Structure 1
Amino acid sequence: MSEITDVDSYISDADENARPTLEALRGMIKSAVPEAEEEIRYNVPFYTFHGTHVGIGAFENHATFGIGADALGSEDRKRLEEEGYKTGKETIQIGYNQAVPIAELTQLLEAKVEAARKSQ
């Protein structure tokens, strides 16, 4: 990838297989948190809101949705793993051959937004 300065460039520079997943994640974030500021940090898309953030990234065979350990509990990870997604302490991997779990991610994101609003 060349020097990325905005999310549109990041997505258009990504592998063709990654673009639909990245667009779905971006759309979900913008829909759930319309006030989020979109920017590139650490060479990946970041969305900042109410003193917190989430990020997305494209890799060879999957995209990652980074939501943070504060929002991704062990029960959430277990449920997503049962549906075939790989998870880490703060992230969810979505294979390019998998559907983006929009409902589940939206629920996690909305809970993160609510917690961030309360802590301000």
Structure 2
Amino acid sequence: MAKFADHDSYIAAAPEQFRPLLTQLRRQLAQALPDAEEFIMYDIPGFGFGKSVIAGYAAFSKQCGLYVSKGAIASHADDIAAAGLKATKTGVTFSSRKPIPDELVTKLALASRKELGV
């Protein structure tokens, strides 16, 4: 993917099968973090304050990812596993076949914000 000016252009350029997932993820993050700014940082859409990224998301050829703080992933490892999703140190991958539950998005975003203290 190329450089993007905003979330809308990022989602529009994502693989078609992931656009609804990304739109829902964006909506859920905006609800969980209503006072956060939307921005593009490191070539992916994110939510945060200034240079503090609370949560970001991305689409790839076969999956999508939600990226939050390490502590958020660690503190919700059981929830991530229960949803049948895979986690890395700072992210959770999901797809159309296994979407990320809205409640999990909210939990991860709020935990990330708390850990970052913003």
Q: TM-score surpassing 0.5?
A: yes
Q: What is the root-mean-square deviation in Å for CA atoms of aligned residues?
A: 2.0
TM-score (norm 2): 0.86
Aligned to 1:70: 71
TM-score (norm 1): 0.84
Q: Is the 8 A contact 1:6 1:39 kept in 2?
A: yes
Give unpaired runs (5+ residues) of structure 2.
Answer: none
Identity %: 28
After TM superposition, list the pairs within 5 Å mapping 1:98-113 onto structure 2.
98-113=98-113
Aligned to 1:56: 57
Q: CA deviation at 1:42?
A: 1.4
Aligned to 1:20: 20
Aligned residues: 117
Q: Deviations over 1:55-89 (max 9, x none)?
A: 1000111110001102111x522431242101111
Q: Is the 8 A contact 1:67 1:109 kept in 2?
A: yes
Aligned to 2:91: 91
1:52 to 1:46, Cα distance in 2 relative to 1, 3 A: closer
Amino acid at match of 1:88: T
Give unpaired runs (5+ residues) of structure 1.
Answer: none
Structure showing greater Rg: 1
Distance of 2:90 and 2:3 partners within structure 1:
26
